[in-house]
Each structure stands twice: as structure tokens, then as C-alpha cells.
Amino acid sequence: MARIGGRNLWIAIPAGMLCAGVVGTLAYLAVPMVPHAVSWVGDMAYNATHLPPPAVEEGTAQSFATVEGSDCRALYPDDLWSELVWTPKVLLSQTAAAPAGVDQALMDAVRPDVRVTCTWTTGGGRSISTTLSAVGAETATTAKASLTAAGYRCDEAADLRCTRTDGSVMTESMLRDGLWITTVETAWHPADYSARVATHVWG
């Protein structure tokens, strides 16, 4: 095989190894910045879909439901937010719409004051819709009766938590301390989704 004129293997080989070493070193130094890059991309996606939070009435308690809860980004812990944002072809819609998949009888019983509804959709008909609402402190008993009548299974170990599954659709309601979180997962079930949101909201 003919050689290219002017190329010296004694120089080319060490130079190539040096370049590979430099690239490897840069990659090693960049690893600690990966989580920050993920967070930055997530914040960019959030800013692209951000809606101003509703006004807080004077005298209203400055709770998660009235301030932080009016914003989708504040509703999720960082790890879950990044997981959702990095899902291929995902779209986030932030509105003040009523909870999805909730029977009218339950709506009448609970009378929620919706703070934010976050709906994530991807291809293939997969979606997750979560609504955070403020409710009366004494609504748990009434809500349980309506949820049970609608086919939910309820657990009151720490708070009122009721779930209903219909094929690939899982609907969940959680009430505690004057807050109501409802979630409808359709063919998309991130690990411990509702538990992670609940832990972030209630601690």
C-alpha cells in the first residue's frame, strides 16, 4: 500500500494517543456536570410550557396549594421531573382544568378549588394527568363514600388514598391536610409516581 507523502508514523502515533488522552480527560471532567445539564434541560422545557400562577387572595394561607402548587415544576421532585421531561416525544400541558376521570358525584362532594392540572402526553396514547386542589378540611369522610361507590379501593393508614384500575388506566385520589391530588395514568406508569408526588407535597 502506498504511503501518503510527508506522514511520519513516529509522530502520528504518539500524537493520536495524546489526542485520545485529552478527549478522555475532558470526558472524565465533564461527568460531574451531567446532572446539572439534565436539570438545565428540564428547566428549559418547563419555561417553554410555563403559565403564570393564579393570584392568591388576601388572607389565604400561604400553603403549597395556594403558592407552590399553582406551578407544575413545583409539584414534582427533581428526579421525577427530569424523568418525565426526558421521556421521548413528551408534551406538558399546564392548566387549571378540573381533575380528569373524576365522577361528577365526587366533584360535588369534594368541591375542589383547582390550583393546577399537569397533563403529560407521549405517542401511543400514553398520558398522565395530575391535579392539585385545595379542599375543605372535613371532606375526607364524604369523599371516601363517593369514591367507594365509584369503585375505588381506599386505604386510610395515614391519609385517604383511593385507587381504581380499568385496564391500562389507573385513577388515584389522595386527600390530606386540605389538599386533594388526583392522578390518571393511561398506559404509562412511572415507578412510584403518586407516592413520589405525595412525598414531595406533604413530606
Query: Is residue 157 one of the residues assigned to a domain?
Result: yes
DSSP sequence for the chain: -PPPTT--HHHHHHHHHHHHHHHHHHHHHHGGGHHHHHHHHHHHHHHHH--PPPPPPTT----TTTTGGGSHHHHS-HHHHHHHHTSTT-EEEEE-PPPTT--HHHHHHH--EEEEEEEEE-GGG-EEEEEEEE--TT-HHHHHHHHHHTT-EEE-SSSEEEEEEETTEEEEEEEETTEEEEEEEES---TTHHHHHHHHHH-
C-alpha span between 70 and 149 (Å, rounded): 30
Residues of the domain holding 104: 50-54+61-202
Strand 127-134 to 179-186 pairing: antiparallel
Instruction: Name the average pLDDT for the chain.
Output: 78
Is 170 domain-assigned? yes
pLDDT band at residue 58, thresholds of 50, 70 and 90?
A: very low
Highest mean pLDDT among 34-38, 58-62, 84-88: 84-88
Return the pLDDT at 169.
95
Q: How confident is the model at residue 23 (pLDDT cuts 50, 70, 90)?
A: confident
| Residue corresponding to grid cell 395556594 | 66
Residue 83 lies in a domain: yes
Q: How far apart are CA 85 and CA 48, in angstroms?
A: 12
Asked, for residue 91, whether it belongs to a domain, the answer is yes
Q: How far apart are the first and last CA of the chain?
A: 70
Instruction: Answer whether residue 99 is part of any domain.
Output: yes
pLDDT of res. 33: 65
Per the domain annotation, does 125 fall within a domain? yes
35 residue type, one letter? P
Q: What is the pLDDT of residue 38?
A: 55
pLDDT band at 108 (very low <50, low <70, confident <90, very high): confident
Q: What tens digit of pLDDT does each residue of 113-144 get? A: 999 999 999 988 999 999 999 988 778 778 88
In a domain, 140, yes or no: yes
Residue 116 domain flag = yes
| Confidence label for 84 from pLDDT (cuts 50, 70 and 90) | very high
**CATH for 71:** 3.40.1000
- Number of independent structural domains in the chain: 1
**Residue 68 pLDDT class (50, 70, 90 cuts):** very low
Is the pLDDT at 32 greater than 50, yes or no?
yes
